[in-house]
Structure 1
Amino acid sequence: MAGTLPVARTHDWSGLPSELLQIIARKLPDISDFVNFRAVCTTWRSSALVSNPPPQLPWFLQRRYSLQGDLSFYSLFSGKIHTVPSPNSSGNWLKGPAHDYILLYNATSYEISLLNPLTDRKVVLPFLDIAGPCPVRIGPDPIHSEECVVLSGNSSDFKTGILALYQPVERDWVVIEECSLHNRDAYYNGMYFVNEETGATKVINVVTRKVVHIVLPPPEDDNDCHHSPRGMTYLVQSAGDILRVFLHDDELLQVKDSHFHIHRLDLASENGGKPCWVKISSIGDQILFLDQDSGFSLSCKDFSGFRGNSIYFLKLQSQDIYEPPFYFLCRYDIEQARTELLACPLSNGGTWIVPSLR
């Protein structure tokens, strides 16, 4: 019939082959897109298993100053803010950075627990006489696998520092050492790497609980201290290496003036057999994610559009002593030695978490 509009064709998207749906699902680096994908229909949900999620870019979890339950996250991939209700986090301080689970600490009861902030699943850990713990390492899945939890902090009487290891198989804590410990340490392959006040790095075998190496700091000229009287040293495990990442920064410096020097730990040094730090100018395809307490590394190969050889970090801005700290989220390009400000609306600081539905 003349003038009749053509009938629009409809497509049965649920009929797509399962193999194709799995390929599509594996290319969703933001957990919110993965959730929306699973919500389309039963066929899509069965092709995108929670037990086999795609590699996820970290979300930035905003620090909170009231101990209420709602948590706010910033997604690097979408640039969006996500607010998630989390009743189980009420009354607890949040400690990270972490994969899947963050550490909860109750300053009244001294209870330590693990929490998946997306599913609100909480697992209470055995009692440990420690105040204000900071996680050195929380593995990708400490609940469903044998991944350990390593943390450091002060004893409840603040008389000594404690380094402790929780092993899910034994379901108990092992105190590795009692000494003065600091944040931004690292744990890898049974070894704990400690930042000493002297600038040296102490390497502890967590099985024998013995110090196996004392690694002297890099030469002062490498640290370029005359350009930045203040800064922070991070020890980070990255693609099997231990990196010493020094952030030259000051709250009075502008964002563009913040910069890093990076060294790789060489335990098999030809320098008389003594372990040493080797200065490097690239970390390859790795991306470092640092907060105020610690950091971790991911490969950019899993995330299209994101460049490796870079560092995402927090820049503390000059502040009034009566106001909460104010932070900028920044990205540092190691090759270009250049820092750029990111458009993150969260300014209270916080920590990184790799989101998971497990």
Structure 2
Amino acid sequence: MNRKRPSALAACSRKRRHAATDGASTLQSDESSWASLHDDLVRLIGWRVLASDLLDYVRFRAVCPHWRSSTVCPRGRGVLDPRFHPRRWMMLPEGHGLHPGHDKLRKYVRFFSLSTGALVRARLPLFSSHCILDSVDGLLLLQRDQDTAVRLLHPFTGDIVELPPLATLRTGLSPIQHQILNWSFHRTVSATSFRVGADGVVTVMIALFNLARVACASTIDQQWKLSTWSISHLWRPMSFRGKIYMMRCPTFYSELQIFEIDLPQDEEDMAGSGGLCFLPEPKLIATCPAGKLQVPYHLAECDSEILVIGRNGRHSSHVLVYRLADIILDRIVPVTSIGGNALFVEERVLSVSSRVHPTIVGDSVVLLHPKEYYLGQYHLGSITWMPTADGCVIDNGGVPSPCSLIYHIFTCCHRATWNKGALLYQGELQPDWKVKKKWRQGA
């Protein structure tokens, strides 16, 4: 028996080795089959993945050296090629007194996906010398502290486009405006759009809400130029596919007009003098009859279309949502479904998938209840209100800590809070606080 045991063990050992060898060869065969995909096929799959999400594309390229070499690298093309824009990603306001890039965060800034709720972080040391003005297609519009130069940054690739100093806007102001307007008026960017020309020149247009003007500049310009016409002081504009959309309503009982502002097509459109720019005037594209929609009005982008949000009465708590395409066709019928998304409504509107958080209800509008003043969600199908997150009332007491991701998302809708990130949104009365030892607009 003792003599047979070594042979039995040897046989067992041989079986294990053969099994391990067969398994390894199968694994190598599987890996080699994936790694041997034709370059064109890998590239085609990569473009399909990129259409879903930029970071999925980055992970796809990291699978193996062959897939990486067969696909286009986003770095160096992050701003100039719209396919690489991180459209559904938003900078996360940290709260706890920590502005973006704070030393306690080791210069990291976190971003979250409006589609999945996924969180990633990027190390952005330049935040120590820049403040944030706005976000467009996931890109960040920054201002450099030392000279007010404006820069368009791709947070994941590090690509930067340089634009003229924001201080050059003052050349388009009158002497009286110079005296009465402080610097914060120049930083109230409520919408940004841009276009990349065939020659690689980037033209950027920003809507300055407090100035009630639009400004434009390109990467080959020396200064920003203001429009000769004004935008509404009441309703904030919105950018969509390289254009800016704005609303006008002279009185509470007037029809609502929606205008489209296009970027200048060539340098002649940018011509002007004294810091002014003869941009094409806003184009009226839709009119909503009086009585169909009441204040407050908001524009939103949702599933590649523009939505118009309002109430069914000045003092009503019922929310109405219309498709701009329907208003243009004179089909004034409110929608009850918005693709399972939720619209977070404040100064700006974010379309957020209900997959982001378990308490977000699809086909709803998340905003402050107009009468009871809590953060709630209005379901469009059942026309009912319900508390969102933990149901906490947002008042002078502030938001409890720890708190739901929903409060962080809602803070993103209020630019003056979002771009500092140090505190979460706390209602109408926002406390002032220092950022980088200064009382300032922006982190």
TM-score surpassing 0.5? yes
Q: Distance in 2 between matches of 1:239 and 1:145?
A: 28
Alpha-carbon distance in structure 2 between the residues aligned to 1:58 and 1:238: 11
| One-letter amino acid matched to 1:175 | L
Residue 111 (structure 2) aligns with: 73
Name the TM-score, length of structure 2 as normaliser: 0.53
Residues 1:48 and 2:71 are matched in the alignment: yes
Aligned-partner Cα distance in 1 for 2:146–2:297: 31
1:23-34 counterparts in 2 under 5 A? 23-25=44-46, 26-27=48-49, 29-34=52-57
RMSD: 5.0
| Pair 1:294-2:317 in alignment | no
> Is the CA contact (8 Å cut-off) linking 2:300 and 2:350 kept in structure 1?
yes
In our comparison, the structure showing a higher alpha carbon Rg is: 2
Please give the secondary structure, in 1, of the residue aligned with 2:407: coil
Q: Answer 1 or 2: which has greater strand percent.
A: 1
Instruction: Tell me, in whole angstroms, the C-alpha distance in 1 between the residues paired with 2:326 and 2:118.
Output: 40
Query: In structure 2, the residue corresponding to 1:46 is in which secondary structure?
Result: helix
Paired residues in the alignment total: 310
Q: TM-score, normalised by structure 1?
A: 0.63
User: Shift in Å at residue 134 of structure 1?
Assistant: 1.6
Q: Is the 8 A contact 2:90 2:138 kept in 1?
A: no
- Give the alignment partner of residue 138 of structure 1, picking from 162, 174, 193: 193
Q: Deviations over 1:72-121 (max 9, x none)?
A: 11224553321211122334443444114221246785443222122333
Does residue 347 (structure 1) correspond to residue 407 (structure 2)? The answer is yes
Give, in angstroms, the shift of residue 62 of structure 1: 1.6
Structure 1 residue 203 and structure 2 residue 259: aligned?
Answer: yes
Distance 2:144 2:368 in 1: 26
Aligned-partner Cα distance in 2 for 1:161–1:58: 28
- Identify the residue that residue 185 of structure 1 maps to in structure 2: 237
- Report the AA paired with residue 16 of structure 1: L
Alignment of 1:84-123 (within 5 A): 84-105=122-143, 110-123=148-161
More helix by share: 2
Alignment of structure 1 residues 1-358 onto 2, 5 Å: 2-3=11-12, 4-5=15-16, 6-7=19-20, 8-9=23-24, 10-11=27-28, 12=32, 13-25=34-46, 26-27=48-49, 29-49=52-72, 50=74, 58-63=88-93, 66=99, 68=102, 69-105=107-143, 110-127=148-165, 128-129=169-170, 131-139=186-194, 145=200, 148-153=203-208, 160-168=211-219, 173-176=224-227, 177-178=229-230, 180-182=232-234, 184-186=236-238, 192-196=245-249, 198=251, 200-201=256-257, 203=259, 209-210=280-281, 213=284, 218-220=289-291, 222-223=292-293, 232-236=296-300, 243-246=307-310, 259-264=319-324, 278-281=332-335, 292-295=346-349, 315-316=367-368, 345=405, 347-348=407-408, 349-350=411-412
Greater RCO structure (CA 8 Å; 6+ sep)? 1
Structure 2 residues not aligned, in runs of 5+ = 1-9, 171-184, 263-268, 270-278, 353-361, 390-402, 415-443
Tell me the equivalent position of 1:253.
Answer: none
Residue by residue over 1:122-177, the C-alpha shift from the partner in whole angstroms, topping out at 9 and shown as x without a partner, is 333213335223242334768985664322226xxx7x432123345657534222
